[in-house]
A and B are shown apart, each in its own frame.
Chain A
Amino acid sequence: MFFNAFIIALREIRRNLTRAFLTVLGVVIGVAAVITMVTLGRGATEMVKSQIANLGSNLLVMRPGQGWGDRNAPQFSMGDVQAIKEQISGVRAAAPLAQATAPAVYLKNVRNTDIQGTTPDYFGIANWKINEGRFFDEKDLLEGAPVCVIGETISKELFAGDDPVGKKIRMQSTSLLVIGTTAVKGQGGFGDDLDDNIIVPVTTLQHRFSGKKSKQSINQILFSAEDHYPTAGIITDVAALMRERRGLTSVNQENNFSVTDTRQIADVMSSSTQVMTSLLGAVAGVSLLVGGIGIMNIMLVSVTERTREIGIRLAIGARAREVLLQFLVEAVTLSCVGGVTGILLAYGLCTTLAKVVGAPFIFDPKINTIAFIFSAAIGIVFGFMPARRAASLDPIDALRHE
């Protein structure tokens, strides 16, 4: 009986393909929307996570002032870096970051870029990989050697195809020897280009660029926690240490520095993208529901339109339950076809949009399965009322229906 209902239902669908198309359109769009939103949202979450991981694992950053910057707050010194490294337990490594912006020149090419002065520890903390050549070492640091490591963007923009290693860049009055290039990191969590920088020993920056040896020119200290060591404890310890070093003895005095944990930022950002994903998914879910109501609407209209057909079926001996099954199977078949089409459409949309958005396309079998089952359920739920109406028709009235 079920197989027969299926054949009968398929024949009815085939008889009016336009109607079938319009019926399933809502479900197609609904399913495609749900899957696309959720898939892209998950891709975005993954992207944020990997971007934060790009900055360095277990990375903590200390900046002068509270929040995102009080320009008047005192900068840090190499002594601070040393103290954090030696006195705080759970800190694996610490590195200063002194930043300046200056035009870099190679032959006739000029690019205004960030120059970062730091120590060799920085490469490990900030998760830099070498692409070619080498990082600078303790000896370069001690000497304040005029060497630099450059990012992919500088390599492309300034050297335009030439191998930069061994070439010299002129910045202000200093000539820097390129000793290495870093592997590509891509975009940062805030859309900034992480590869647009020149990294030099902090001593080089202090001696050759600022013109004078200033103790207080370090505007960030980066340090990494040991794996699985609670970062909250480190932050408290570092804060206490820094208050002491900065002479903030009174309880009323606020910290004139702040420590951020990139893992926290990662958590906050990925949870906010997850919330966005759920919201978008829910909105798309509503469109799927509307698609289901569309099926019910067209099935109800079609029961009226097909009253005579139902009458014919009843007259030649179809039982009410067979008519019910036929309409139910029609609705479920349509919604399932809509579900599959929606999944295919979503696949196309996701691959295209993932490129536009820049998020990776992660195929998620779970959401696809859920969307498909949901579309089938929509067929059953919204097909039932029209099917019951069809089955309850009286054959004589139905045959007389014009």
Chain B
Amino acid sequence: MKPESLIELRGLTKTYGKGDAEFKALKGIDLEIASGEFVAIMGPSGSGKSTLMNLLGCLDTPSAGSYLFQGIPIQTLNKDQRSLIRRHALGFIFQGFNLLARTSALENVELPLLYRGYPQKQRHEMARAALTSVGLFGKERNTPAELSGGQQQRVAIARAIVTNPGTLFADEPTGNLDSKTTLEIMDLLCRLNSERGISIIMVTHEDEVAAHATRIVRVKDGLIESDLRKPPH
């Protein structure tokens, strides 16, 4: 049975600037991602992979083409509607962790729940559970400055999954981490993918990191260069 389609891109282009300064970052991308996949997007810098990631994460709108996310045509939505899609269906983790400084791990993880309007008690419970699930039980009160890089990324992952999103976007999630911590974070992401069925779309330029994914999409000069599925174990 064909798995349900999560993401469907048709002729997606993104152009920056106008006239002589015009720059085509994406030149027509066709891509389908099924629910539950763990996709690594790879490519050299300037290849358009970050642009693609921003479009997929509903942070940006395409110049042309269509993007169906769970059947919703994202290119027709306005800024606030895209915010709501991110709030309710997506989770993000970043290379630089992007945690709020001087704010405890618990409050960082609670942040998306605040925007969802959960009452305080439920916020605390869900945030604690999320922190525990990424192995940070007991670190709730620590601020980012008091945590190691790996721990900070775990807080970021907890923040991304606390709302139980169906899809997780990871932008170079291990770019700032050493190889041992990288392995730990990748194990965690794999577990989220296999145990909780969260679809993961990850941008990376490291082959070892991409090897954890079930599918590797290579982008070059604004076009898809290759699309390889790993055979299931």
Contacts and interface: CB of A to CB of B under 8 A. Distances in A.
Nearest to B81: A319
B84 A316 contact: no
Interface residues of B, number: 30
Contact of B59 (A7, A11, A321, A396): A396
Contact of B60 (A1, A308, A320, A396): A396
A317 B85 CA distance: 7
Contacts of A11: 103, 107
B103 to A, nearest CB: 6
A1 B117 CA distance: 7
A287 B233 CA distance: 73
Nearest to B143: A15
Nearest to A308: B98
Nearest to A3: B117
A8 to B, nearest CB: 6
Interface in A305-354: 308-309, 311-322
Interface in B63-91: 79-80, 83-88, 90-91
Contact of A320 (B79, B90, B94, B107): B79
Nearest to B123: A7
Say what secondary structure dominates the interface of chain A: helix
Interface in A174-224: none
Interface range on chain A: under 10, 10 to 19, 20 to 34, or 35 or more? 20 to 34
Contacts of B100: 15, 309, 312
A131 interface: no
A110 B137 CA distance: 88
A315 B92 contact: yes
Contacts of B102: 15-16
Nearest to B89: A317
A313 B115 CA distance: 9
Nearest to B108: A312
B94 A399 contact: yes
Contacts of B91: 316
Contact of B115 (A15, A311, A318, A399): A318
A103 B100 CA distance: 81
Contacts of B111: 312-313, 316
A338 B181 CA distance: 47
A46 to B, nearest CB: 50
A308 B86 CA distance: 17
B164 interface: no
Contact of B86 (A311, A316, A322): A316
Contacts of A316: 86-87, 91-92, 111-112, 115, 159
B54 interface: yes
Interface string B180-224: 000000000000000000000000000000000000000000000
Contacts of B117: 1, 4
A311 B98 contact: yes
B31 interface: no
Nearest to A392: B79
A23 B204 CA distance: 42
Nearest to B102: A15
Nearest to B57: A315
Contacts of B116: 317
A260 B80 CA distance: 75
| Residue from A7, A313, A395 with most neighbouring chain B CB atoms (10 Å) | A395
Contacts of A395: 59
B62 to A, nearest CB: 14
Contacts of A396: 54, 59-60
Interface in A261-283: none
Contacts of B88: 317
Given A4-B114, A4-B115, A395-B59, A317 B98 contact: no
Nearest to A11: B107
A317 B112 contact: yes
A318 B98 contact: no
Contacts of B159: 316
Contacts of A4: 114-115, 117
Contact of B83 (A1, A8, A314): A314
Contacts of B94: 399
A322 B88 CA distance: 16
Given A15-B103, A399-B98, A315 B59 contact: yes
A396 B87 CA distance: 16
Contacts of A16: 102
B83 A319 contact: yes
Contacts of B54: 396
Contacts of B98: 308, 311-312, 315, 399
Given A11-B107, A15-B101, A320-B83, 14 more contacts: A15-B100, A16-B102, A308-B98, A313-B111, A313-B115, A316-B86, A316-B92, A316-B112, A316-B159, A317-B88, A318-B115, A319-B83, A322-B115, A396-B54
Interface of B: 54, 57, 59-60, 79-80, 83-88, 90-92, 94, 98-103, 107, 111-112, 114-117, 159
12 contacts: A4-B115, A8-B114, A15-B102, A312-B99, A312-B100, A315-B86, A315-B98, A316-B87, A317-B112, A320-B80, A322-B115, A396-B54
